[in-house]
Structure 1
Amino acid sequence: MSIYYEPDHALFCIQTAHTTYAFALNAESRPVHLYWGAKLQTLSDLALLTGNLHVETNGDSSFRLRTNNQYEYRAGEPYSYEEQALDLFYSDGVRGAQLAYRSHVISADGRALAIELADGQYPLSVTLRYEIYPDLDLITRRAVIRNEGSEPLHLRKMQSASFHFPRGVQYRVTHFAGNWGAEYQKQQEMLPLCRTVIQNNHGNTSGPHAVPFFALDPWGKADDTSGEVFFGTLHWSGDFKITCERTELGAVSVTAGVNDEQAAVTLHSGESYETPEITAGFTTGGFGGMSEQLYDFQLDHLLPQKRAHNVIPVIYNSWYAYDFRIDEEKILGLMDRAAELGVELFVIDDGWMPGRDCDSKGLGDWVPDPLRFPNGLRVFAERAHAQGMKFGLWIEPEMVNPDSDLFRAHPDWVLQSESRPQTTSRNQLVLNLAREDVLAYVLDVLDRTIQENELDYLKWDMNRYITDWGWPTGSKEQREKLPLTMIENIYGIWTHLNEAYPDLLLENCAHGGARSDYGMVRYTDRINRSDNATPADVLLLHEGFSTLFVPKSAGGAGTFNGTPGVPYAFRENLGFTGSMSIGVNLLRCSQEELNAYGASVAQFKRERADLQNSYVYHLVSAWNSPYAVWQYVRRDRQAFTVFGFCFGRHFPDDRMARVRLTGLIPEAFYECVVDTCSSEVDGQRYTGEALMQIGLQLPLERNYDSVRLVFRRVM
């Protein structure tokens, strides 16, 4: 796998483990896409696709130009009417660019390409950067836009990349959308003859109303185990836009990057703007094959690598027991009970600041309440460490209550308009993290909080969207770029946390799954999947989440939360699918309940090594059936777990059909070592081939039936 340049045809070819991606320079030296799909073993075959590129622009060639203008980075070229990747104004008022090849560099290891383009009439250059990874069928792209002149350039749109797909095919688009408590709802439709836009414009989050991700499968035929799928995910946690477009000429493309509705950038002489990365791939293994690629990318390249392959500790969080109504006595009592159950990490959530007995005050004053915590918070770290637990704390550093000492001292630190009244949400205002003094304050707060309280874990929350894009004292250019600078500075803070505290576990929480994106994956160990812990909803939430993110990173609401009417076994099995957390008031539990929780924690610890770094295949989708069957396969294929859940059945019928498994070694023998429903497979051995071709019969007959079958390779 490597990146090649073939000068005879001005051809660039990117070879991954199983795919080929190619583009070439046309008669005007503009990079034009040629091919993306299954790997071509003979690269000279790509010459078949270069013949139509060299079309002169005079005469009646406009139609031919329109059918061959699949530019790698569209910037306003003639006869290009599709979504542009770059839109700008020069100082003389001329709009758009016409970019031609200037030079390129391929890295010594053949895994990175930088191709520099330039506008022949204006001092503008754009460098397109490509990167590939060992054994993965993924390409990461970004663009660097540079002003090489003396007059300013005004960028109005600066997308990360455009992708083109084979013509003459109908595509189904898949993405995930939703709301608070209803994140990652699978959306699928055949791509119409128009632009289909997936976007977010809430300011400081990537969702949960839309996840910065797309997938296209030809003719809508892919399932979880087979079929061609093109896909991509943007590394950006603010406003984004992904435009999927099908034209009247049969061209299909996707252009993705930051949302151009709010932000703009002015580049002065010598300045540049680098777009967020987007990682895209192609697979013939269906949506499960796509998930495999994305999991490998996260575990081996994107997650903080020092901690990436570690298991996530079993967590207890104080919020579910007492919400804001916490004090030293309650916390110490909960800690003792949690330690007895085998909990490995105790987290104090919201409510520890002065006067913070509700959501309308105290936010921004990051010191312990002296009345409820007279000995501070360090006493909890000491107690946790003495009991063999880690200690964590909740914080929401981007926000402030109007009723707080911080706001009274610095009312100018929040986003606001000079001429309009301030708007609150959850009684909060948003700090302007584009300001250097605010940024310095937040960094100081985090350093002090981590060090003074000996934190092993930090849960960063963010509980409102932006409504007031105002910065009265900022320059015009600062205000234009404000939505971008806010997110860039947030990334800067998270970079500092990882560099200064490499052993600190970090949870990315944003009122549920509002920052579920690959921009944040780079910095965090857990992502708040959702605040919703209702088991029937979690089936849908986790299926969407685990399509894109490794299952162990699923944070948020407690696994065990006392949902009435739901059998314990159902909640336990569902809890094993992510990172286990306990969210009940342990001081009010019976001894029988405590014993059950302790047994679940102990069993989870025995099984989690086979679960938390596994691939997940959604063999039967909760979106399409009253059953959900998920298979977790360890990446080395030496162990796997089958989860089955029944919910939503209205009428009795025959037993559900056999479910054929996937992702196993055909000739290997696997033995069932855990069978939670005492079915006929307990202790039995099967070949991988039999399990994939014949399958298993799961005893799911009534609502809230569930099963967990653990297999390990024995031969």
Structure 2
Amino acid sequence: MIKADGKVFFLNTKSTTYAFRVMETGQLEHMYYGRLINCDEPSVLKEKRAFAPGNTITYDDAHQDLTLEDVRLELSAIGKGDLREPMLEVVCADGSTSLDFVYDSYEVISGKPEFKTLPSSYDESGKVETLNVTMKDKNHGFTLILSYSVFEECDVITRSAKFINTSDESVRLTRMLSMLMDYDHPGMKITSFHGGWTREMNKSDIVLPAGKFVNASFTGTSSNRCNPLFMISEPDSCEESGDVWGFNLLYSGNHYSATEVSSFKKTRVVYGINPQNFAWDLAAGEEFEAPEAVLTYSAAGFRQMSLNMHDFVREHITRGPWKKKERPVLINSWEASYFDFTEGSLLKLAKTAKNAGAELFVMDDGWFGDRNDDHRALGDWDIVNKKKLPGGLEGLSKKVNDLGLMFGLWVEPEMINVDSELYRKHPDWAIDIPNMDHSEGRFQRLLDLCNPEVVDYMIDRMSEVFSTPGLSYIKWDMNRNFSDYYSKYLPADKQLEVSHRYVLGFYRLLKTLAERFPEILMEGCASGGNRFDLGVLCYYPQIWASDNTDAVSRLAIQDGYSYGYPQSTYTAHVSACPNHQTLRVTPLESRFAVASFGVLGYELNLNDMKSEDIAAVKAQIELYKQYRKTLQFGDFYRHRADNIYQWSIVDKDKSTSVSMLMQREIVAGDQYLKLEMAGLDPQTKYHFFGRKLEYNVKGFGDLVNTVSPIHIKQDSLVHNLVAKFVKMPGEIEDYVAYGDTLNSNGVKLVQSFVGTGFNEEVRYFPDFGARLYFVEKAE
């Protein structure tokens, strides 16, 4: 709900309040963002001033008490005394750079308007309101519209800004961020997510008592180096308590956030498009939209902040037929065959996968042109490799469909190899600098999506591919970062617009195809998580979280994503061991346990697996389908993230819960372990139980000789024969308890093996061991 009178503005969600006011000089002073308050007297929220400090710039002669350097603002630019990070920077026609935006007017509208050039959040509930505040520049007459949309049920407020050149001359934007917000104290904790290829979303905390912390991307994408998601919190905030503010951005290009502590001990946050290598020229009458920023506040720690973000993404970002539809279990051909496959080998894999319970077969890279490695053929989407697929895409699709499987396909529409028919025909369509050496990435270059002709061409080519009869799924990849920013389509004075124009072209391509083929499930990918953001989630309902499928690595990766993205948005595969990225060997059940806490898939050669492992996969898929709705769309809770990770997901109606724990390394003699739980209905009685498993006797080594009547040599024929017929029983966990007991106490599990005995009251829990536990309403 928005309360506004042109002097003071209150934006209330069900649990939070955001407040600012118009100062006597016309600037917007930020007063409050925190838990819901009832404030009839705004003067208790605003700072009091009598004299400006020394060595500061006062705003004007009439306000000698006011220096903007010591005001909590809603926006700021260069030139009027505020020396902190600005939200805007421009070069005006006369060469000056000072701006002085002051309040002009406001409007409150029902609903959430769409952006003209960028994806944005949306509302179908009819409960969202939007506040537009119009600011006017006193120096040049420019207009800036600050927009605030209030998503009351999610405890989310979004912010954006639009610059309109209402002067008579041109202006160059050199920084156009989406939002600015000031806190009244230093020493806050910044939580951000960093890494690289195969190690995305590693959580990092830093307390900032002074100076500046920047979280920025310059890869041309939202980046696996540092995701746009970040949080600001009090230093002692934790999962279940403390003030936490979460931020995210609906943008798939270079992003920038800076958190800065001023000399007056205020903390400023600015957020939006990375100003590095960016400029945008606006002629008189033209406008520029900044991406939408997402803000949420939690008084109950990181857990509630995440739940707010998850609900917002599910209800107001993802859309289309797959928004709330359960996602199919897939088998992807990549790690099973890479480029070396035939129609026959693919169908053999598909048949085995179908028998194991898979629902979707995906043919990955290598199906087009002369694509036998990653050196060539990108761009040749109109040439199907008939040596591999004599019946073409349609022929393979029909045979896969006839097996009872959905058919899916890998594409990389934004890329081109120099060794391709498309490049030979249109070298001008690649992003590179004429007559200069070009830095390569994965032997490929970017197509120039700044050029509308290129976007139109790729829409046509992809429409032909997407029209393949029986096609139900597309994996959209992007395996290269930007390096030499240059568009041969644009004149020299527009080259600093390349990164943003590329993103706009990408969105037009993706939006057109998503609207033209709404029933196709599209999954995003960019060397894994190199473009995992809210912008693309407006078109893809799910994204490949990482090229790293190792279960141990995935603990930190998926834990990181969970802070801002619901589990229905990140996909996870069970793959072969030794793992193709780490060479680590982990139990099949552990791989499944971790992958089931995303959208589950398999990426391995089932035909090479032992019959008992295929039987285990079949049982896994059957179990996942039974709890799929809960796992994909329930409320996610983090419990531990150290040597042992614990996650749980609770159905929205609180009837069902699934929990996972996984141990990285065994600790000798440590027999006690408690499974923590949350989110259950306190008054409901639940049945708690674990999955009954059996274990290979070889996991106990030559301890088998302590119970065997004959001596068994390690890895001998006898040892292998015994292992085939004798299994060690897993522990039994089966209890009935009320939700308040489970929420408050959790479940104290049976003891771990500590070297002194083993039976059904002992948990076999070696390195990389994992368990799934289930809670259902008791009859």
TM-score bucket of the superposed structures, by smaller chain: over 0.9
Point out the structure with max Rg over C-alpha: 2
* Aligned with residue 266 of structure 2, among 240, 243, 251: 251
Conserved in 2, the CA contact under 8 Å of 1:400 and 1:430?
yes
What one-letter code is carried by the residue in structure 1 that aligns with 2:455?
L
What one-letter code is carried by the residue in structure 2 that aligns with 1:459?
K
Say if 1:452 and 1:568 are closer, same or farther in 2 by CA, change over 3 A: closer
Say if 1:362 and 1:637 are closer, same or farther in 2 by CA, change over 3 A: same
> Residue 325 of structure 1 corresponds to which residue in structure 2?
340
> Residue 342 of structure 1 corresponds to which residue in structure 2?
357
> Residue 146 of structure 1 corresponds to which residue in structure 2?
164
Conserved in 1, the CA contact under 8 Å of 2:250 and 2:535?
yes
Structure 1 residue 611 corresponds to structure 2 residue 640: no
> Residue 714 of structure 1 corresponds to which residue in structure 2?
778
Deviation by residue 1:45-97 (Cα, 9 ceiling, x = unmatched): 43312463798955797675346522211122522111000000111111131
Structure 2 Cα separation of the partners of residues 120 and 556 of structure 1: 53
* Aligned with residue 545 of structure 1, among 525, 548, 561: 561
| Structure 1 residue matching 2:497: 3-state secondary structure | helix
Structure 1 residue 383 corresponds to structure 2 residue 399: yes
Structure 2 Cα separation of the partners of residues 480 and 454 of structure 1: 43
Conserved in 2, the CA contact under 8 Å of 1:4 and 1:110?
no
Structure 1 Cα separation of the partners of residues 655 and 478 of structure 2: 40
Deviation by residue 1:598-633 (Cα, 9 ceiling, x = unmatched): 121111111111111022222011xxx211111112
Query: Taking every aligned residue pair, what percent have the same amino acid on both sides?
Result: 26
Say if 1:490 and 1:54 are closer, same or farther in 2 by CA, change over 3 A: farther
Say if 1:426 and 1:24 are closer, same or farther in 2 by CA, change over 3 A: same
Using the TM superposition, give the Cα deviation of residue 443 of structure 1 relative to its aligned residue in structure 2, in angstroms: 0.5
| Structure 2 residue matching 1:266: 3-state secondary structure | strand
> Residue 256 of structure 2 corresponds to which residue in structure 1?
241
What one-letter code is carried by the residue in structure 2 that aligns with 1:227?
G
Say if 1:372 and 1:57 are closer, same or farther in 2 by CA, change over 3 A: closer
Say if 1:657 and 1:334 are closer, same or farther in 2 by CA, change over 3 A: closer
Computed over aligned residues only, the root mean square deviation of the Cα atoms, in angstroms, reads 2.0
Matches within 5 A, 1:399-478: 399-478=415-494
Structure 2 Cα separation of the partners of residues 559 and 284 of structure 1: 40
Conserved in 1, the CA contact under 8 Å of 2:128 and 2:151?
no
Say if 1:97 and 1:657 are closer, same or farther in 2 by CA, change over 3 A: same
Deviation by residue 1:399-429 (Cα, 9 ceiling, x = unmatched): 1111111111111111111241122111101
* Aligned with residue 571 of structure 1, among 591, 594, 598: 591
Using the TM superposition, give the Cα deviation of residue 680 of structure 1 relative to its aligned residue in structure 2, in angstroms: 5.3
> Residue 134 of structure 2 corresponds to which residue in structure 1?
116
Using the TM superposition, give the Cα deviation of residue 658 of structure 1 relative to its aligned residue in structure 2, in angstroms: 2.8
> Residue 229 of structure 1 corresponds to which residue in structure 2?
244
> Residue 694 of structure 1 corresponds to which residue in structure 2?
745
Deviation by residue 1:457-492 (Cα, 9 ceiling, x = unmatched): 111101111111112342235422111010111111
> Residue 40 of structure 2 corresponds to which residue in structure 1?
44
Deviation by residue 1:411-454 (Cα, 9 ceiling, x = unmatched): 11111112411221111011111111111111011100010354
- Gaps (5+ residues) in structure 1? none
Conserved in 2, the CA contact under 8 Å of 1:527 and 1:556?
no
> Residue 228 of structure 2 corresponds to which residue in structure 1?
212
| Structure 2 residue matching 1:211: 3-state secondary structure | strand
What one-letter code is carried by the residue in structure 2 that aligns with 1:119?
D
Using the TM superposition, give the Cα deviation of residue 679 of structure 1 relative to its aligned residue in structure 2, in angstroms: 4.8
* Aligned with residue 309 of structure 2, among 283, 291, 294: 294
> Residue 171 of structure 1 corresponds to which residue in structure 2?
188
Conserved in 2, the CA contact under 8 Å of 1:265 and 1:477?
no
What one-letter code is carried by the residue in structure 1 that aligns with 2:238?
D
Structure 1 residue 630 corresponds to structure 2 residue 651: no
Structure 1 Cα separation of the partners of residues 301 and 28 of structure 2: 30
Conserved in 1, the CA contact under 8 Å of 2:12 and 2:152?
no
Conserved in 1, the CA contact under 8 Å of 2:329 and 2:360?
yes
What one-letter code is carried by the residue in structure 2 that aligns with 1:46?
P
Structure 1 Cα separation of the partners of residues 516 and 657 of structure 2: 37
Structure 1 residue 316 corresponds to structure 2 residue 331: yes
Structure 1 Cα separation of the partners of residues 692 and 243 of structure 2: 36
| Structure 2 residue matching 1:605: 3-state secondary structure | helix
Matches within 5 A, 1:479-558: 479-555=495-571, 557-558=573-574
Structure 2 Cα separation of the partners of residues 312 and 364 of structure 1: 29
| Structure 2 residue matching 1:377: 3-state secondary structure | helix
> Residue 4 of structure 1 corresponds to which residue in structure 2?
3
Structure 1 residue 90 corresponds to structure 2 residue 141: no
| Structure 1 residue matching 2:153: 3-state secondary structure | coil
Conserved in 2, the CA contact under 8 Å of 1:629 and 1:644?
yes
Conserved in 1, the CA contact under 8 Å of 2:550 and 2:591?
no
User: Which stretch shows the higher mean deviation, 78-87 or 378-387?
Assistant: 378-387
Conserved in 2, the CA contact under 8 Å of 1:509 and 1:528?
yes
Conserved in 2, the CA contact under 8 Å of 1:86 and 1:96?
no
| Structure 1 residue matching 2:562: 3-state secondary structure | helix
What one-letter code is carried by the residue in structure 2 that aligns with 1:44?
D
Deviation by residue 1:146-194 (Cα, 9 ceiling, x = unmatched): 00122101100000000222x2352111000001000000110111411
> Residue 620 of structure 1 corresponds to which residue in structure 2?
640
Deviation by residue 1:335-371 (Cα, 9 ceiling, x = unmatched): 2222211211110000101221111011111121122
Structure 2 Cα separation of the partners of residues 399 and 635 of structure 1: 41
Structure 2 Cα separation of the partners of residues 656 and 477 of structure 1: 67
Structure 2 Cα separation of the partners of residues 181 and 36 of structure 1: 37
| Structure 1 residue matching 2:335: 3-state secondary structure | helix
Say if 1:423 and 1:464 are closer, same or farther in 2 by CA, change over 3 A: same
Using the TM superposition, give the Cα deviation of residue 698 of structure 1 relative to its aligned residue in structure 2, in angstroms: 3.5
Using the TM superposition, give the Cα deviation of residue 577 of structure 1 relative to its aligned residue in structure 2, in angstroms: 1.2
What one-letter code is carried by the residue in structure 1 that aligns with 2:74?
E
Using the TM superposition, give the Cα deviation of residue 134 of structure 1 relative to its aligned residue in structure 2, in angstroms: 3.5
Matches within 5 A, 1:634-645: 634-645=651-662
Conserved in 2, the CA contact under 8 Å of 1:320 and 1:561?
no
> Residue 131 of structure 1 corresponds to which residue in structure 2?
149
Conserved in 2, the CA contact under 8 Å of 1:193 and 1:245?
yes
How many residues matched? 703
Say if 1:348 and 1:63 are closer, same or farther in 2 by CA, change over 3 A: farther
Normalised to the residue count of structure 1, the TM-score between the two structures is 0.95
* Aligned with residue 182 of structure 1, among 176, 186, 199: 199
What one-letter code is carried by the residue in structure 1 that aligns with 2:368?
M
Say if 1:557 and 1:110 are closer, same or farther in 2 by CA, change over 3 A: closer
Structure 1 Cα separation of the partners of residues 168 and 520 of structure 2: 46
> Residue 261 of structure 1 corresponds to which residue in structure 2?
276
What one-letter code is carried by the residue in structure 1 that aligns with 2:164?
R
Structure 1 Cα separation of the partners of residues 737 and 362 of structure 2: 42
> Residue 594 of structure 1 corresponds to which residue in structure 2?
614
Structure 2 Cα separation of the partners of residues 63 and 320 of structure 1: 67
Conserved in 1, the CA contact under 8 Å of 2:692 and 2:732?
no
Structure 1 Cα separation of the partners of residues 775 and 430 of structure 2: 54
Structure 1 residue 20 corresponds to structure 2 residue 20: no
User: Which stretch shows the higher mean deviation, 569-578 or 471-480?
Assistant: 471-480
Using the TM superposition, give the Cα deviation of residue 552 of structure 1 relative to its aligned residue in structure 2, in angstroms: 2.7
Structure 1 Cα separation of the partners of residues 49 and 276 of structure 2: 34
Conserved in 2, the CA contact under 8 Å of 1:176 and 1:210?
yes
Using the TM superposition, give the Cα deviation of residue 665 of structure 1 relative to its aligned residue in structure 2, in angstroms: 1.8
What one-letter code is carried by the residue in structure 2 that aligns with 1:693?
S
Say if 1:211 and 1:63 are closer, same or farther in 2 by CA, change over 3 A: farther
Using the TM superposition, give the Cα deviation of residue 590 of structure 1 relative to its aligned residue in structure 2, in angstroms: 3.1
Say if 1:63 and 1:231 are closer, same or farther in 2 by CA, change over 3 A: farther
- Gaps (5+ residues) in structure 2? 52-57, 111-126, 694-729, 753-764
Structure 2 Cα separation of the partners of residues 130 and 181 of structure 1: 36
| Structure 1 residue matching 2:636: 3-state secondary structure | strand
What one-letter code is carried by the residue in structure 1 that aligns with 2:159?
R
Structure 2 Cα separation of the partners of residues 492 and 60 of structure 1: 49
Using the TM superposition, give the Cα deviation of residue 505 of structure 1 relative to its aligned residue in structure 2, in angstroms: 0.3
